[in-house]
Amino acid sequence: MAKNFAQLAESIVDALGGADNVAAVTHCMTRLRFVLHDESVVDAAVLKSLSGVMGVVRSDTQCQVIIGNNVSQAYAEVQKLLPEGVSAKEASPAKSRLTLRRIGAGILDALIGTMSPLIPAIIGGSMVKLLAMILEMSGVFSKTDPTLVILNVIGDGAFFFLPVMVAASAAVKFKTNLSLAIAIAGVLVHPAFIDLMAKAAQGQKVEFVGLSVTAVKYTYTVIPALCMTWLLSYIEKWVDRITPVVTKNFLKPMLIMLIAAPIAIVLIGPLGIWIGTGISALVYTVHSYLGWLSVAIMGAAWPLLVMTGMHRVFTPTIIQTIAETGKEGMVMPSEIGANLSLGGSSLAVAWRTKNPELRQTALAAAASAIIAGISEPALYGVALRLKRPLIACLISGFICGAVAGIGGLASHSMASPGLFTSVQFFDPANPMSIVWVAGVMILAVVISFITTLLLGFEDIPVEAPRTAAHKSSEAVPSAALTASPAVKTH
């Protein structure tokens, strides 16, 4: 991994066509996400070859540069190279003919772009809830102890107010007024409104100016606030056009609130809930029919979903399922085998490679995947780079997913599965869940390690020291100045 992030940032920006070509930049847990003015000037070959860049993913709207766990340091250096304010905004891609592919890509980009900044808060809240669960299980605190209650409140904060967080993130994505988006989302989780929805759920008729209001619980939801904020971006532009200049300071925000909030309550909110529920129902209907096989398939497919960024599509489904049932038994269990398989495969590469730099990268990536459940450094820095280790991970992920499915493992929270976060799969009512989790984790590392060694891989050659170029041709053979041929390891 590169240590000089200033130099790495400069090289990345140059390969992207210079600072003037960057319209916007954000980052998630492992990736720098660039929106560019002109995609054609990107030197992808140079970008991928940079030491410290694990991979590059390009789409219609973004160029994503995978850095790894130190992405925040690289992001800070990139910010220094760009004009002031560039990183704080999102740029729209150039308009072109609408197709189903572009519509699908746009929806996926909106969902991922909105959810990615929220992942740290979601993981943080999940881990605090897990801590509270462990303290209660171990008898340190009783269920009614104020300390435990407060810990649960801290853990629940990110989920209870998730619509507000989604609205804030989506406001940045859709370039609409942040405070108005937060205020309208706040209506959905206001105590008085929650009480009104509880009465509606019990059969009491609730209307707003004669329009029936559907009984919906918005805490722990994503889709309603996301759809509402997208619509708000258009309402704001329309209201801005119709309001006189002299009244904009007070009339414009009032009209936006009076238009957007009722639409959110009466139409967009319930529609968003139905969409989210429909997606969840589809996913878990497949799970109910295929059983453990669906977890196995997901375990094999997970690295491929991460490569395309489509794994974030499951975030709303996981959150909503845990909120409704208290656990999630398909996607999260599949991640155990997928993440630790990438770690085990990276350990095999570190064991076999003759390249010191690759060994260092593989060891760091293995630690990240196995201990913390962050698999992208192993995926991009090792598996995808060497190809055959990725095949080993897919095989191991399928087998371990099958075992996790047969064991009936389910997650009670949402954090990337790894050694430190494995407690999310412990079921107080089923002590054997601890054995199943431990078994799957060990199996994932062992199977991927052995399979990677059996399949072998094309080792990355070690280049001769550059100082040799300054020596006389008589003292140093010309062959020493070139990279040694790739060596297939077995």
The pairing of strands 207-208 and 211-212 is antiparallel
Q: Of 94, 114, 147, which one is at a domain's C-terminal end?
A: 94
Q: Of 283, 305, 339, which one is at a domain's C-terminal end?
A: 283
Q: Based on the fold, state whether residues 296 and 278 are members of the same structural domain.
A: no
Q: Based on the fold, state whether residues 324 and 413 are members of the same structural domain.
A: yes
Q: Is residue 442 situated within a structural domain?
A: yes
> Is 60 exceeded by the pLDDT of residue 166?
yes
Q: Based on the fold, state whether residues 304 and 267 are members of the same structural domain.
A: no
User: What is the C-alpha to C-alpha distance for residues 4 and 416, in angstroms, rounded to an integer?
Assistant: 28
Q: Based on the fold, state whether residues 362 and 396 are members of the same structural domain.
A: yes
Q: Based on the fold, state whether residues 194 and 268 are members of the same structural domain.
A: yes
Q: Is residue 359 situated within a structural domain?
A: yes
Q: Of 227, 254, 283, which one is at a domain's C-terminal end?
A: 283
> Is 50 exceeded by the pLDDT of residue 477?
no
Residue 279 is encoded by which pair of tokens?
């997606």
Q: Based on the fold, state whether residues 296 and 254 are members of the same structural domain.
A: no
Alpha helix (H) residue ranges in 50-145: 71-81, 100-115, 119-137
pLDDT at position 468 is 40
> Is 50 exceeded by the pLDDT of residue 466?
no
> Is 80 exceeded by the pLDDT of residue 307?
no
Q: Based on the fold, state whether residues 368 and 426 are members of the same structural domain.
A: yes
Instruction: Work out the pLDDT band at 182, boundaries 50, 70, 90.
Output: very high
Q: Is residue 203 situated within a structural domain?
A: yes
Q: Is residue 138 situated within a structural domain?
A: no
Domain extent at residue 243? 161-283
Q: Based on the fold, state whether residues 267 and 350 are members of the same structural domain.
A: no
Instruction: Work out the pLDDT band at 437, boundaries 50, 70, 90.
Output: very high
| CATH number of the domain where residue 40 is located | 3.30.1360.60
Q: Is residue 352 situated within a structural domain?
A: yes
Query: Cβ distance 31 to 64 under 8 Å?
Result: yes
Q: Based on the fold, state whether residues 279 and 295 are members of the same structural domain.
A: no
The domain total for the chain is 3
Q: Is residue 170 situated within a structural domain?
A: yes
> Is 90 exceeded by the pLDDT of residue 173?
no
Q: Is residue 216 situated within a structural domain?
A: yes
User: What is the C-alpha to C-alpha distance for residues 411 and 433, in angstroms, rounded to an integer?
Assistant: 11
Other beta carbons within 10 Å of 36? 21
Q: Which secondary-structure segment (H or E) carries 207?
A: strand 207-208
For residue 39, the Cα-to-chain-centroid distance in whole angstroms is: 24
User: What is the C-alpha to C-alpha distance for residues 313 and 281, in angstroms, rounded to an integer?
Assistant: 14
Q: Based on the fold, state whether residues 373 and 454 are members of the same structural domain.
A: yes
Report if pTM > 0.85. Answer: no
Q: Is residue 132 situated within a structural domain?
A: no
Instruction: Work out the pLDDT band at 463, boundaries 50, 70, 90.
Output: low
Q: Based on the fold, state whether residues 177 and 39 are members of the same structural domain.
A: no
28 given a catalytic annotation: yes
Which distant-in-sequence residues (6+ apart) come within 8 Å of 199 by Cβ?
Answer: 206
pLDDT, tens digit, for every residue of 387-411?
899 999 999 999 999 999 999 999 8
Q: Based on the fold, state whether residues 311 and 271 are members of the same structural domain.
A: no
| 328 phi, psi to nearest 5 deg | -135, 125
Residue 91 is encoded by which pair of tokens?
């740029």
Give me the catalytic one of 28, 63, 227, 400: 28
